[in-house]
Amino acid sequence: MMGAFINEAIQSILNQTLKPDEIIVVDDGSEDDTKAVLKTIKEDTVTVMFQSNTGGASSARNVGISQAETDYILTLDADDIFEPTFMEKALQIMESDNNIAVVGCYYRGFIGNTIDAKIEKPLGGKLSDFLVKNNGLGCSLFRKKSWELVSGYDENMLYGYEDWEFWINILKEGQSMYIIEEPLFKYRTKKNSRDKNAIKYHDYELREYIFNKHKNVYLQNFESFAKHMLYQNSRLRNDKTKLLNATEVKIGKAILLPFRVIKSIFKK
């Protein structure tokens, strides 16, 4: 399946207004059609690496980044796309401020050639903004030395949220994530994506893992963490109340409908 999209993803990087020094593609045990497509790539700047699917997304990223000889790293999944100006704008921001560790952007979802009109707007920010939820974009620009400092992506996180944990790991050094307020990234939406499965089946265990791994960070930022949790709880309760009220109205209308029909018949 990914074979149908990989060329489009790579081309979105080759089309950048600021050309990359190298593109490293890590095939993590893909299906045969993807391997066949990758073997046809002849670009001088593109290196393709093949490995068995034993380590998951974190392992694949770590393998690729370890081979990179550049100061900056931009990650991209096989079925997603960057707009042509992202790298140029992101690098300019990164080089202008050493306190910025990561640069992401707004993004849109798409299926086939249909692009969602809704623009997703991650907030970025400092460590305190990432304690309760991932306020960043998984595919973003960062320094290789940041990756080295935190020993890369956590390869124990096989079911997802590895990018969220990676941002926490980087930002706990006191830096921040900057978000370009333009939709310069397109995320392919799928019925059964890894992200959706993580939320549906592994959300609690992944959050617990992140909390336990960074417990000192959470304790040091307890007040901020508690406020975020209280706010989230309040929103959930309000949403639940709205849903219950809407359901009650629908049930009420359904019950009244037969009486209105009967009343209408008697009028006749």
**Residue 209 counted as domain residue:** yes
**Residue 237 counted as domain residue:** no
- Residue 52 pLDDT greater than 90, yes or no: no
- Residue 249 pLDDT greater than 90, yes or no: no
CA atoms within 13 A on the CB side of 91: 14
Tally of domains within the chain: 1
Q: For the domain that residue 200 is a member of, what is the CATH number?
A: 3.90.550.10
**Residue 54 counted as domain residue:** yes
**Residue 116 counted as domain residue:** yes
**Residue 215 counted as domain residue:** yes
pLDDT digits 0-9 by tens, 205-215: 999 999 999 99
**Residue 263 counted as domain residue:** no
50 or 14, greater pLDDT: 14
Q: Quick one: which of 203, 214, 232, 112 has its CA closest to 167?
A: 214
- Count Cβ atoms below 10 Å from residue 81 Cβ, excluding itself: 24
pLDDT digits 0-9 by tens, 159-195: 999 999 999 999 998 999 999 999 999 998 877 678 8
- Residue 268 pLDDT greater than 70, yes or no: no
Q: Work out the pLDDT band at 259, boundaries 50, 70, 90.
A: low
Q: Quick one: which of 20, 15, 138, 34 has its CA closest to 78?
A: 34
Domain containing residue 50: 3-220
Q: Work out the pLDDT band at 127, boundaries 50, 70, 90.
A: very high
**Residue 268 counted as domain residue:** no
Q: Any residues with CB less than 8 A from the CB of 241 and at least 6 apart, and which?
A: none
- Residue 263 pLDDT greater than 60, yes or no: no
- 3-class SS at 154? coil
Length, in residues, of the chain: 268
Q: Any residues with CB less than 8 A from the CB of 76 and at least 6 apart, and which?
A: 9, 12, 13, 82, 139
pLDDT of residue 33: 78
Say what the pTM is. Answer: 0.85
**Residue 152 counted as domain residue:** yes
Tell me how far apart the alpha carbons of residues 59 and 155 are, in angstroms, rounded to a whole number: 6
